Structure 1
Amino acid sequence: MGDSEKYSEKERMSADIGSPVRDNTAPMLPTVNPEVQKMEPPASKIHPAFYVMAWISLSSSVIIFNKWILDTAKFHFPITLTCWHLVFATVMTQIMARTTHILDGRKSVKMTGRVYLRAIVPIGAFFSLSLMCGNITYLYLSVAFIQMLKATTPVAVLILGWAIGIDQFDLKTFVNISFIVLGIAIASYGEIKFVLVGVLYQLGGICFEAGRLVSIQRLLSSSEFKMDPLVSLYYFAPVCAIMNFCVAVVFELPRIQMADLYYVGLWTLLANAMVAFALNVSVVFLIGRTSGLVMTLCGVLKDILLVAASIAIWGTPISGLQYFGYSIALGGLIYYKLGAATLKAQFSDMNRAWAEYGAKHPAMRKVIVFGGIVLVLFILLGGLAPTVGYDSTYLQSVIKNSDEAQ
């Protein structure tokens, strides 16, 4: 064997020794940790728009359903109806906690008897009073006007936060919420069927709701008390149901007869409670699948749709002054919740998308612009009329007077 062959053989052997022997039967190191891969939840195949539509539909349905039961169906027991909703929510959350994983978030909450008495009970009291006042309001005011008044809820929350020192006073924010208050004041002045008792109940409900939200922000905002809406309902529903039951025993239950229940229908009351509970479930999925921006815009869209539904279903008269005032309030509400930077970014994205659409479909863009102009003119000219919708009492009086004249 020559020197060159020996040198080559030595190089080959040293290379074999220096490099590890590859065994095809040995297990390969995984590129992804299988345990981590198993822990990752599968991506949802449902489009976020589904959760948006579900929440808007359920939220609107609960309000219209409650108005129908308390006003149209003559079940004039709003505290009892609220108590029934909370009892149903208590039973359902207890069942879900033991049969599903939706309420597993409660395991991370360090709940003790002392925390329950100091935090959950007071917040539950605010929640209970807010629900009772909100349902009593349906006996006096229209759905459209109630939704207009509810636009002042962020104002009440902010003012209460300033009063107890949670938030720092800001002049720009104060000017912004002043537009909301001004818009609601104009809408209230233009309300045709203004009932002071109903307005006071609604304002009371808004104040109680502000107290609940501020209390949650103050007492339950730390990391060990983070709760989604359904977990919150798990803790709040029992104490709220007990409080509502105690009030109902004094003011309503002695006056309720079986004929009242049969007139509304037991299945109707069950369906009403199921829709109300489904709304709480939909909130959890909406928050998990979308963003705060989407949630805010969905709330504004829902309020507008409810005003339109109130006009369509009950013929609620809406004056042009109310349109003007409510538009100011909605504009101030959107600016307050989103801020100038977010709105500017959103408008930039919309302008870019609109320009791209115009480049691809110029004819359709012209049709949309023309249709929008016609719609705006129709709304503005229609606002010059004293009301939108019909007033059955007024029409009956006109017909009666014409008959007497003949």
Structure 2
Amino acid sequence: MSDEKTRSSVEAARDTSAPVLPTVNPNLQTPQKPSDKLHPAFYVAAWIGLSSSVIVFNKWILSSRKFEFPIFLTTWHLLFATIVTQLMARFTTILDSRKKVPMTGRVYLRAIIPIGIFFSLSLICGNQTYLYLSVAFIQMLKATTPVAVLLSSWFMGVSKADMKTLANVSVIVIGVIIASIGEIKFVMIGFLFQVAGIIFEAVRLVMVQRLLSSDEFKMDPLVSLYYYAPACAIINGAVWLFYEMPRMGMDDIYRVGCFNLLLNALVAFMLNVSVVFLIGRTSSLVLTLSGVLKDILLVFASMIIFGDPVTLLQAFGYGVALVGLMFYKLGAQKMKELIGQGGMAWAEMGAARPVTRKLLIFALVAVTLFVLLGGLAPRIAPESTKKLYDGIGTYVADKAI
């Protein structure tokens, strides 16, 4: 979607990023925003933290712990979500809004099941990618999701083709192409899996958009999860039975740890809960900006935790893609307003809190130097860099155990 989802099994949200588990109608606002004492920044931080945690957690399980069964992991997430949402529907009032959705067996078969198939395919392809590519590079490739959604909406007749819009989003594609050229650990099969996942996710989002064209079918992320999770769990489970189960044993489960698998599914589910609160307490603009910030933080986290090298060419290409992404989602006028407001806030901070502003400048310089050294090190001193990255990765993995 306009929102990239972080696949829970995945990435999803939306913005997200990610797929992850399904998030629909990101512009939906609750009729009345409930008053609470928590600042909106809390919900932004919670969503960014959970979304990033799901992606890093999945990468750690699939790559660092050598649990090469991404379809099983996806199926487990969906099964866990099915159980929890069914319990919530029966014993709480959180999902009572589902009663307003005119869901019948015919609608479920003709709408939910097809969307569930594409959602399952996007999750399967997205999780397969973690076996081949770095988290940083995956996030860069995911920047093209809005482009895929736009093209899919044209091909499926949901919206009319607009060459001006296509020219705007082409900046995103150019940036990602530059980032791909600069990728050191480029693996074609992983790249193709990610491209397929983006395409399947784009088609799913357009199908959801078509379903939600009527006010009757507006659903928040938890209600949509209540309907989609059972169908997707069955579809993914069937694929797992034929593709992964014959070569999977209990030793693989024990190597990861039952507690880690349970915690992983819980974090993925909590991500969907955080999306509900983020949408209800803030706005689609905040969601868009939060998604961009989350992607940037994930690139840095990938460099620190997994030792993934990011070259200067990649950083430049990703920067171009992010600028294009924000321009596409916000528009030129909104970006000018935000830049103006940011300049005023920066000047006010310099007058009211000069020490804080100096600390921010120092942090920005430190991060810039980190990116520059991280980009140059793999080419200037490849052996030393590899030893350093391996040492960091081993330390983080041992702490996680």
TM-score in same-fold range (> 0.5): yes
* Cα displacement (A) at 1:368: 6.2
Q: Percent same amino acid at aligned positions?
A: 61
The Cα of 1:164 is off from its aligned counterpart by: 1.9
In structure 2, the partner of 1:145 is: 137
CA contact (8 A) 1:320 1:386 kept: no
| Cα offset, 1:302, TM superposition | 0.7
Equivalent residue for 1:239? 231
Superposition deviation, residue 372 in structure 1: 7.5
Give the Cα–Cα distance (whole angstroms) in 1 for the partners of residues 338 and 71 of structure 2. 42
SS at match of 1:307: helix
Deviates more, 1:100-109 or 1:339-348: 339-348
Question: Given the alignment of the two structures, is residue 220 of structure 1 paired with residue 212 of structure 2, yes or no?
Answer: yes
For 1:10-25, list aligned pairs within 5 A: none
Query: What is the CA-CA distance between 1:381 and the residue it aligns to?
Result: 5.4
**Residue 124 of structure 1, CA deviation:** 0.5
After TM superposition, list the pairs within 5 Å mapping 1:13-162 onto structure 2: 43-162=35-154
Q: Which amino acid aligns with 2:88?
A: M
1:169 aligned residue (156, 161, 169): 161
Does the 8 Å contact 1:311/1:389 carry over to 2? no
Q: CA deviation at 1:45?
A: 1.5
Contact 1:140 1:197 in 2 (8 A): yes
| Residue 378 (str. 1) matches residue 359 (str. 2) | no
Query: Is the 8 Å Cα contact of residues 316 and 388 (structure 1) preserved in structure 2?
Result: no
Are 1:306 and 2:277 matched, yes or no? no
What are the superposed Cα offsets for residues 194-215 of structure 1, whole Å, 9 maximum, x if unpaired?
0000000000000010011000
Paired residues of 2:221 and 2:275 also in contact (CA < 8 A): yes
Structure 2 CA distance for partners of 1:227 and 1:136, relative to 1, 3 Å? same
Shift in alpha-carbon separation, 1:192–1:346, aligned structure 2, 3 A? same
SS at match of 1:385: helix
Residue of structure 1 aligned with 2:256, choices 264, 277, 284: 264
CA distance in 1, matches of 2:298, 2:257: 25
Residues of 2 paired with 1:41 and 1:190: CA distance? Answer: 45
- SS of the equivalent of 2:66 reads coil
Deviation of 1:176 after TM superposition, in Å, equals 1.3
Q: For residues 250 and 385 of structure 2, what CA distance do their matches in structure 1 show? A: 35
Distance 1:88 1:291 in 2: 29
Provide the TM-score with structure 1 as the length reference.
0.82
Is the 1:317–1:389 contact (alpha carbons within 8 Å) kept by the matching residues of 2? Answer: no
Native 8 Å contact 1:320 1:387 kept in 2: no
Q: Distance in 2 between matches of 1:139 and 1:85?
A: 18
Q: Report the Cα offset of residue 104 of structure 1.
A: 1.4
Task: Give a deviation string over 1:166-188, Cα, whole Å, max 9, x none.
Answer: 12222321111111000000000
Relative to 1, partners in 2 of residues 1:314 and 1:360: Cα closer, same or farther, differing over 3 Å?
closer
CA distance 1:378–1:42, shift in 2 (3 Å): closer
Q: CA deviation at 1:358?
A: 3.8
The AA in structure 1 aligned to 2:217 is F
Shift of 1:58: 0.6
Kindly indicate whether the alpha-carbon contact (under 8 Å) linking 1:317 and 1:390 is maintained by their aligned counterparts in 2. no
Output one character per residue of 1:79-104: Cα deviation in whole Å (capped at 9) or x when no partner.
11100100000000000111222211
Displacement after TM superposition at 1:374 (Å):
4.6
Partner of 1:326: 318
The answer to whether the aligner puts 1:196 opposite 2:164 as a matched pair is: no
RMSD of aligned residue pairs (Cα, Å): 2.4
Matched residue type, 1:321: L
- Aligned counterparts of 2:384 and 2:95: Cα–Cα separation in 1: 50
TM (norm. structure 2) is 0.83
1: distance between equivalents of 2:79 and 2:135? 25
Cα distance, 1:48–1:250 mapped onto 2, change above 3 Å: same
Distance 2:43 2:321 in 1: 26
Residue aligning to 2:335: 343
Consecutive unaligned residues in structure 1, runs of 5 or more: 1-38, 397-406
Deviation of 1:388 after TM superposition, in Å, equals: 8.6
In the TM superposition, what is the alpha-carbon distance from 1:395 to its structure 2 partner? 4.9
Aligned with 2:200 (options 208, 211, 215): 208
Q: What CA deviation, in whole Å up to 9, does each residue of 1:31-67 have, x standing for no partner? A: xxxxxxxx98862111111111111111111111111
Read off the aligned partner of 2:142 and give its amino acid letter: K
> Which AA in structure 1 matches 2:101?
V
Indicate conservation of the 8 Å contact 1:185/1:325, yes or no: yes
In our comparison, the structure showing a higher alpha carbon Rg is 1
Q: Deviations over 1:216-250 (max 9, x none)?
A: 01122311000111111000000000000110000
| Structure 2: gaps spanning 5 or more residues | 1-30, 388-401
The code of the aligned residue for 1:108 comes to K
